[in-house]
Structure 1
Amino acid sequence: MTAPPEALLQRMLAAPDELIYLVMAVAALLENLVPPVPADVVILFGGFLLGQAGGRVWLAALLVWLSNVAGALVVYGVGRRYGMRFFAGRWGRMLLRPGQLSALAAFYARYGFAVIFVSRFLPVFRAVVPIFAGVSRVGLWRTALPILLASGLWYGGLIYLGAAAGENWEAIWRTVEAAGRGFYMVALLLTLALLWWWWRSRRAEPEH
């Protein structure tokens, strides 16, 4: 994605701060529910707009942080409440068999904090990992704490980076874009590893 042209940028700079806060917060919330939402780009650019307009960057960081954490905990709660019921049914068993669910729960029990923390920096995994933390019955605070920490670091960093960009906006945009491609590559490799685990563990457990 390229930086917006100058004419469009000037129109965006004229937007009221309250609208920018709202768009940033909604993007941070929705990325937990709809993974393709480009929240990182929206939030970085929102930080830049606020920095140029003299807006309250700290307020944007707080709203984005709380919205993102709230969205993650909503999907965690859905997974915790309805996950096992879903996977006990026909469609759920087609996705994950009981042995696979047990292995997943054991993995979360051992590495849950680190997995949840790291996942907040990876596209798509941000939305998926909290759901399965709920399915695996990871405790609320053991789930919430790494989300609080990682989301604060990531989105706070993006917002303040954007706000401080000034005339270096193009260079910072390219740097963040390159970092984003790196994170997507890591997410892709992890997805391939998970698919390999899913296939092997499924073959090892005959369907009943």
Structure 2
Amino acid sequence: MKILSPCVLRALERFNAAYPWDHNARYHRWILRQLPQRFRRAADIGSGSGDLARLLARRADSVTAVDVDPVITAQAQKLTPASLPVTFTVADAVADSPEGSYDVITCVAAVHHLPFAQVLTTFRSHMAPGGTLVIVGLSRAQTPVDHVLGVLAIPANAAMGWLKNKGRPSPRPTSMTAPTRAADMTFADIVRETGTLLPGARLRRRLFWRYTLVWHQP
């Protein structure tokens, strides 16, 4: 479904490149509101530049931050004060998943890089009783609702970029420099598979081409 002409899309891409902002960081405060004020162990999967891991570390006894990219993981380590209880690990979230159980597992804009059913099963197996899983993910637009949300996000995205950069062109944040790929699962696919693997999970479409998933281990 094509809504904007290629000429308009190219103009928007140039604008967004000049005034970038981190869509994922917008959800960090929302993620924290889904979690207890204090918890023992947390894992942040696809931790990137470590922004969310550092926020979790202010509430946790320990945080394991996992990312497959060694370059951005090294940058995250440098940005993290030694006083924060964060351990950065270069690993595949499925093949080399962190050992033990966690009270909190978060994953932002990384699940679409992984085999969905397998990664949800892995998260479930590492969740402590009463623990919380929070995912912010990307889905492939398919329905009219998806496309309407996408259209609404376009001017909002440009406005946010302008405001966050105070009207001045800016380099891309470190957290936005990691390789990305398009999502291949629709929101309906995600809801169906999640219902089988994580009964009771709450899923919602969100603005800026995202959805959220919250699940509590019984």
TM class, shorter-length = under 0.3
Q: TM-score, normalized by length of structure 1?
A: 0.28
Q: Which has the higher strand share?
A: 2
Higher relative contact order (CA 8 A, sep 6+): 1
Q: TM-score, normalized by length of structure 2?
A: 0.27
Q: Which has the higher helix share?
A: 1
